[in-house]
Amino acid sequence: MIDNGHTPEPLISDADLATGIRENQFVMHYQPKIDTRTLEFVSVEALVRWNHPVLGVLMPDAFIPLAEQGKHIHGITDIVLETALRQSAQWRELGLDLRMSINISGASLEVPDLPERIHDVSSVFNVPADKIVLEVTETWQSRDTKTALDILNALSAKGFGLALDDVGTGHSNFAKLQSMPYSEMKLDKSHIHSATIDEDTRHFIAMCVELGHEMGMYVVAEGIEKQEQWEMMSAMGCDEAQGFFIARPMPGDQIPGWLKRWNTYLGLAEDHQRASGPHVNLDEMTGTFHRLNSIFPTKLDI
């Protein structure tokens, strides 16, 4: 899960959550993820916000922990799944064939019918399972119940992608990863941020990238906020990247416009780099990323 904004802890209650779910006060924003080799826009992560009528827009860390303590996380999960997959279907009608990453709480991995519920929603909106990646935070493994593993295996059997989120936060048992059905590994932003100044962190990331690739997993670097972080993660072999350096999360109706501007930028770059071959020369391209917002009249990171 990626959320770089800071929200002070508001005074919310269990009853507030129940009202929010009943009145559908939750909205989704989507953060683009970029292929580090081709610079193509290939997927988004769906991120929930609570449009609270009194407190304003609340970020997930302000309400998800409370929701997980009770039963309300399941209602929020249902809203997230339906909203995100409806949006995916709308993009597909426009010709945007993007993978959609959706965060699933570890608490939901205790609900046996979760795979069927997700499959039913994806069928309603006609979104193929292989276009959906379910992100599971690394912390669930501290509980690591048989039910959770059975649910992960069932989701994988139905064709959904599975991402182990926040890798490096201290809960992973890497020896056990080989027996788990993950298709994607997401490196925690705290390690991305310290990698440029700490050699031990760089060695850790290099180990994760190598391990992930050996097990056939896609490796994603999250929380990219600076050019040097982008350059290091792409050089170390991460397959995808996301973060404020590329784009901030935005409402779904802004994604087509962002993609148009992004593709215009890549077209200009490819014209400039045409002698290099059919793809963007990554080493030369990364040096111009910080000028994106001056190239277009509307900022890319809306």
**Cα separation, 203 vs 194, whole angstroms:** 12
Q: Which residues pair with 185 in a beta bridge?
A: 164, 219
CATH (domain of 162): 3.20.20.450
Evaluate whether residue 231 is within a structural domain: yes
Looking at the domain assignment, is residue 197 inside a domain? yes
The pTM for the full model equals 0.85
Residue 24 has pLDDT above 80, yes or no: yes
Range of the domain at 47: 21-295
| pLDDT of amino acid 269 | 59
The 3-state DSSP class for residue 224 equals coil
Q: Is 295 a residue whose pLDDT tops 90?
A: no
- pLDDT tens digits, one per residue of 95-123: 999 999 999 988 888 889 999 999 999 99
* Residue 227 located in a structural domain: yes
Closest to 168 in 3D by CA, of 177, 159, 181, 160: 177
Q: Is residue 9 a part of any domain in this protein?
A: no
Rounded to an integer, the average pLDDT of 243-251 is: 93
Structure tokens at 43: 């997927």
Range with the poorest average pLDDT among 6-10, 158-162, 279-283: 279-283
pLDDT at 138: 59
Look at residue 193 in the predicted model and tell me its pLDDT.
92
The secondary structure element, H or E, covering residue 164 is strand 161-167
User: Residue 177: which pLDDT band, with cuts at 50, 70 and 90?
Assistant: confident
Interatomic CA distance for residues 68 and 89, integer angstroms: 28
Length of the chain: 302
How many C-beta atoms surround the C-beta of residue 297 within 10 A?
7
Q: How confident is the model at residue 296 (pLDDT cuts 50, 70, 90)?
A: very low
Q: How confident is the model over 52-92, as pLDDT tens digits? A: 999 999 999 999 999 988 889 999 999 999 999 999 999 99
pLDDT at 260: 87
Query: What SS3 class is residue 267?
Result: helix
Q: What is the pLDDT of residues 33-57, one digit of tens each?
A: 999 988 899 999 999 999 999 999 9
pLDDT digits (tens, 9 = 90+) for 135-155: 987 556 555 578 888 999 999
Instruction: Say what the pLDDT of residue 142 is.
Output: 52
More confident residue, 133 or 109: 133
Over 60: is that where the pLDDT of 272 sits?
no
Residue 114 falls inside a structural domain: yes
Give me the chain's average pLDDT, please.
84
Asked if residue 76 lies in contact with residue 26, where contact means CB atoms within 8 angstroms, the answer is yes
In a domain, 5, yes or no: no
Question: How many Å from the N-terminal Cα to the C-terminal Cα in the chain?
Answer: 19
Residue 146 placed within a domain: yes
164 belongs to a structural domain: yes
Domain count, the chain: 1
